[in-house]
Structure 1
């Protein structure tokens, strides 16, 4: 009996060691990129942040990380707009610099605009394309809102584009009484089928799981879909950690019933990722009657003309400037 037990234990031990060994091989086996994008290290991001000369702010989060806020200033501040700031949350792979046209258009309309680089994105600190948890991600967003309020803007309207819509709804649910409004652009709960991200093969899935278990801070999930444009901007991220891309269940994300603020939902008539019908479904799920739906003409998902940003400015004027 003892011999059988001992033999069984040895077999189990070898099986466990074999699984661990296979996991280690999969976790550290190089993967060929489909985007061939070359990003930067956290150290390089810090170096570029130090050298950045245009208007911006940095702040230290409650857990000690440095985050970057780009700023666009109007030439003059009218009394009706001087207390209002618009905070832009960027989409996946991007950073605040990709929204320069939006920031400049808002500033031309008389509004002070800010763009947050998420932790691990753009010129912010942190492990690239990563966040330790949903709680930490939410805290970063809320702290950015409070930093802007501390700069003398008691009214903060959050503008989210694509993944930024997820960010906007997340922070709105976290601090509902601290926001003045929401602008949710180019998003829905369901993509067009032809625009789905290319699913990894079974082997690639095994590599992702092994990497995420054995080194969760490693960027193992590449964002890639057929026909997408891959910029050479090194501040973009195209490969993420698994915990970042799975931390918020998008389809379950809803705006709380107690949200008593104006909300604008906008979608481009030529958006390649989301249909107008699906964006309207998201709009219909927003409670209350302080909401508006906007279709932006000649607007693609990531190619948004100045006229569409001007529509957002017009909504801000109509909603907040008396």
Structure 2
């Protein structure tokens, strides 16, 4: 099996904790062919989609240590047709590169792509939680998305004492702040900062009810094909309300509660229907806060606290999907030959 990762640059990885690196290492251990590229390195040659790729040299022995694997990896450069791969794994960070998806549209019928392109188009931002029916806010906190400052100020005045404000296109906890009604005098300048750009354009922001217990952190749950395969609790650091590890939070073991299992059961079928096979969801006190579909992380942290290897399940899934496509193709070829020979 030959797999292409469309991702962020290799040198920008955290060699001890990067989830993408864990997936690549697992594929290398199994002897699969691997190439990595970035969205900026996609190209068209003679009307065929290609990628300027860095191909991982195969090794007789692959280091089991992630940091060592990263430092010892050897690559050679090749310009390769995307349709020649068995699978393409998208692991680029937000914001979504729409041109990248346009390149991949031309090969989506030839290659298994994780996650599905149309699914990513629908779910790449924080608006996706709105597709899950929840009239009574049982699984999703009351949420507002707008550029209208006056509307937001009214919501804050009429709402609970504490709310969460964050940019629509942020990731990794960037830009997430806690606001309190008692600080209304600062709200106007804060909204100006988040919404208005220097060039006169504006940004959407999300205003969400603060969920009780959020100060204790959140739960990251990884779902594969609609089913939870790992979870961890992320606890905020002493100087930051955010629980993201990149913002100074720490990781603890977590067993899914009955409410969290029900949440996964309710949203899993929709994720699979949209081709969102590998997803990370953030949950606070049983409520869905975010759905991460572009480059969900947490694999290495879950592995460390549980002594597990989550990446094995994910690569098993990719192998199965590729085998299904190959078997279907061979069956069609056999049937077509039968018709041609008749």
Please give the TM-score of this superposition, normalised by the length of structure 1: 0.37
Question: Would you tell me which structure has more strand in proportion to its own residues?
Answer: 2
